[in-house]
Structure 1
């Protein structure tokens, strides 16, 4: 087993990835003070699991990570890998070569790998136990280590001998086994305590178990008794149902007789009702005129309030936009300053790069000149050597000429042998240099390919960043538009709710009843509500129904005549106005029948009573109010239908024109800017729905916005990482080019020698 190579990246002074190949024999690392020789030994100690910062010559563990220089930023991690030749199988793993890697980040996290498989520090320590290679082994002898061993206590020195003897692993396992035994003994004591406690509770648990079984038995008996009682009650109820059925038949007979009387009374009532309707029509005309004037006044007041609210909102929006403009201008100025600073930095870096490139070219030329001079000097030395040999041979004594010739021949043969070895060595060197040259060329091509891929990847990230920025801007724009809509609708809703809470548009008497019914229990007892509160109308028929009801829309619905009397007396005594009351127990109405063919021919939608939604208990009220009013498409169809039936029905168009029985027609401008009591409530419901939709849309847009921002942050991170990788590849490419050029010069020298 021997150490083959050490790879260091980001460890102390080794910012770039550095590989140190360890060949057979002795490998020595030389260099001036502070060049990082000791850092290599520290790196080997660190990768083998050294946890002591003091032994690594630092203050904290983060000091082992390259801290940066004035021209180079600090790195985020350090990594060291050492490789061992394990052909002899001394390390107990089935690999011919074993690589140990340790990586540490600035956050303090460490990662350990054996042959690129993640492992624990404990695994690495156990792997090298008894090999002498561990962090405390005798294979790494640092400065002052020998003195420390000699001066140590016998107990401490014993650890080194145990490591050499190969028994540390077993001692470690023994200590661990003893620790587990102690823990197991503690667990056994705890189990005995638990058994003792449970034994003490055994008697009480048996008593409780007996109680539980008795309870279960009694509960089952109770269940059977309850079922018998339920069966008895069912039989009793069935008998009562039979008695009630018999009573029901008697009551139905009596009800039939009463219904016949009712029909007779309704006939008389209808005759009186027709007379009352004629009087109501004349009253309604005058009330409608009064209502139109009141509505026009209220609409004008409402419009004024809406305009005032809009003015406040626009002023607030203007202030917000001014603040946003100032903020954006400040940010533009900051970005401009940053851009100028970056441009200045780029200019300085470019100048420094050009200067370094010029120095590099000059040094290369000087190197070539030096190599040429060296070759000439070597040639002169060879010439001088030959001259000296020739002079030596000529000056030899003639008596030893034969011996000299023999010696000379031997020397020549030796020289020829040496030259052959040199040529063979040079050819080997040349072959190695050619292999290196090919390796450098291949690495250069690979890096160029990776660099091209990284640049394509960077372009893709930047294109995606532009796309996400555009999408984010669109979402922001939509979000701001929705905000404006939301504020406008909230303002309108607020105005409408204020009008509703203040009972604007109601008659004085109705307004008084609505307010006092909340405070006066006597009034509230029989008060149900006003007609407008009890119906829901489709938006299409709102105007027609409102015109059909006229002032009746504000009629007060009570439970009984007595309740109506209490309300009217209260208003009279307190001089709070007048109202019309509709007692629920008295008011009854009937409807007219429309021929289905007429519905198709004259575009009749139906009776007003059929086009509204209300609770069944108010059926009589709305039959009375809208049971004889026909809702039709327009005035042309209305006139044709009225002529056919000799103006016998009350007809209302969708636009609010009224064709009265007898032939009179009411219509004209309605005041589109106004909001009626019915339309105001539907408008509030509609605004609530729209506001909810906008809020949901805003929540969705917020989610999209957050997702785009998250994507942009991730893309920016990827872009920065890719740019860093491109820089590293470019530096590596320059380094390879330098190595390739040096290797080419070496090849030329070897070719000339051979």
Structure 2
């Protein structure tokens, strides 16, 4: 059978699409992952009642987006998740995947397969996926729209959907017709447009309300804004005049203080000159000491260099001896390789001969395969001829079999009708005799029902009392749960606050770490050098002077102050490293930096033996820091002569006692310089660079403490949550018991009402039995006449069957001969294919051998070349060794010359150091006179500075008045100052402006901005109203166009479905007539649809007047008629033929087979006739209570196996 599963999708083309497989996990009775694979055949799913077979159709409906728990046969959506059994726990989620073949791109997705997945968790969270990509439910609905699939489609038909077709309300039938007519997407667009129109109307009402409200504010605000603007003009003029008058006064005060300031600067200049000379002396003295120290260091360096050169000379002697040994080994290796190259010449020829022999055999095999191909072509032509003959015979045989089946169907229908008539007659005879017995039994049943009704009322009273008691218990559980919930919330809040504190701390750590990493606080040059050192561009850079030491928090400010600008000095290995860094800064315009070479700087430490007992003495700065010993010289030079004192008073006392001979720094950063000068006040610009490291250390300790606290808080939180969950479980368990008792009470109440109805029906039944007996005799007579007519029809059918069966036997015999010849040709073709396969195998083996031999030959050739290359390398290496020996001998000569030169330099440096020491002694005496003169000048400076401060105080009063009145600084006042020609006129205008401002009262300055805001808003809303009204008109036009298109499309499709229903009804019922009618042709998009049918031998009726079996059969016929007009990719039918008798089941199955060439059929059934028509059977069992399992059987394959065994 040629499979033609095509449907007409929303793009207007026909596409092929079918269901490949279904995967279920955790859904209803399927806790384990279960996969069902579907082919392009009829698949039947069977199993006993309660085994869970209908859960498969529920799974397909659910994965396509169904939201109604009632449709899914549940109370709430959580019911779709496997709830557990006595042996299995419940699972946390349900997941179903639907895999569809999309090779023909039926869905507008670039995949050959489309997997639709839905997952639902017990928490209520729901997820949808298309090919494992998370999507919305809306996206899923749009994908399925107008395909017949989806939650609103008709691809899944169960008893509920059949009931909808049979519904007494004709309007309830519209949904399936609209989907079949293909107007679902139009209705979706129309409803979406109507929702937009509704929102547009709401927006329009809201905008008009706002416009009316703003219109009342615009005019009053306009008047207030004009008054406010006048006030601002007066205020600005007054401000300009007053500021100008005050600024003139300031100039006069500045003139009065200028002379005092000039005298002060003159004396100060003299003082600074002498102070500079004194500072220069101390700097020179320090420089002289440092120069002497440098001479000492230089002498030590020369001595170390001489020792190093002597060691290098010894190393060169040893290296030369090693090189001579390597030269001898090189010569021996060259001789060995030369011998091996001669041995490899003979092997290459033998391998080439083997390759040629195998290539010749490959050519022979190619020729033999061509002969086989020619012979296979002849066999194929013969097979085609036989196939054509067999096709003609099969076609004729098929026509005969079809005729036979039609006659058999007619005979079966007639016999079924005859059997039904006989059965009906017997039933009527039996019924006539039993009417009297039923009347007597009705009275007895009435009395029994009265007793049961009384017992039910007593049970209901007892259950209500039990329910009241349990509700009191639940009330206690509720109070406990609330208490524990509150405790859990408090613990959660505590945990959240602690988390925020930890995050804040970590943010601070991260900030400080980033500042350290980025060298924030350092100069541009320092940053550039350190960053390039980290990148490896600059070598032997150790770090900054501040970055390589540590100290206690107590001394951080003092050490930073003592270092001063040296905090940004960079420590390097040698002068050459510092030189390289300086050149780099010059090339890149990076600024200037100071470099401290470890190899050069050797600092000195102050002798503190006389300071240890002094009050306020904290220690020598070099002793209060921690650093690597290799930097000792550098830090001694920076901090070795700096004393740390606790406060400024003690520092002054220590300085005086020691004649200001060294530098003192206090813990808060005040400085007494050598010579007596003082520096103090606020912290220096470099403060904080050293303290960052200390703060990071403190923060790390705090972080550890908070993390330990967090562990304890988390334990408390988890305990509280666990107790809350336990209380919730108690409450939930009790709630379940209450629901069970409430269900029991509801059931008892329902039963009580049911008994009352039964009592009323029992009395009515007696009257009905009498009426029924009167009509039985007439019906028996009519039955006998119809029986004779049916018997005559059966005889005619059987005569025609005999003739057709003779023709079938003749064609069947001819097909047997054709099959034998076809089998002979098939066997011959199989032999040719086997021989061809053997040739292919031999050819592949030969080709592999040729490839391997060629590779071996290539390897041998490559190995010989490698040895030649290695021989050449040995020669080059030998020459290099000889060169190194010569270079070492030359270097030994140079080292001897350098040692002699260094000894001469040492003698010169010793002489220079003696001269520096004599010069320092001469300068010490000259400085005593300069210190006395400096003290006199400092006293004169203090007198002149006081005079200058008096003038500045008066200036400050005017400046304060500027700020207090207008909040303007002196600098800003200069920019608004006006030229005043007459000071008297200016003061008169100031008084006049103050009167005008007083007359205006208290204007609303905010009215200016408020008027601009309200007026802008008013204009904006007016424009927006016009835009919304325009959009409303466009939406109304769209809705009219969609409605018109829907009417045209539905009218055309409905007519086609009507015709299809008439034809399908005839096929199902073997006669009669049927029709579909619109209740209101003028409102075809909303009116009900009436179904009218006339089964054979009966009068025309609406579907609601038919028997139960007839209703179901009519609904199935209508469903098949719709599928003929608009087939869906696949159909799942869930026991829709349950109400049919065996004859109609066979008709249903036969029509299902006919429809299977258009639509993939999946049927859930327990009817034997339906099962027999299936190609594949899936069995659903429940060996473990509450757990469904699936087994499969391919009936076609099973039938082939049975034939072979027979």
Asked if TM exceeds 0.5, the reply is no
Tell me which of the two structures has the higher relative contact order, counting C-alpha pairs closer than 8 angstroms and 6 or more residues apart.
2
TM-score range, shorter chain: 0.3 to 0.5
TM-score (norm 1): 0.36
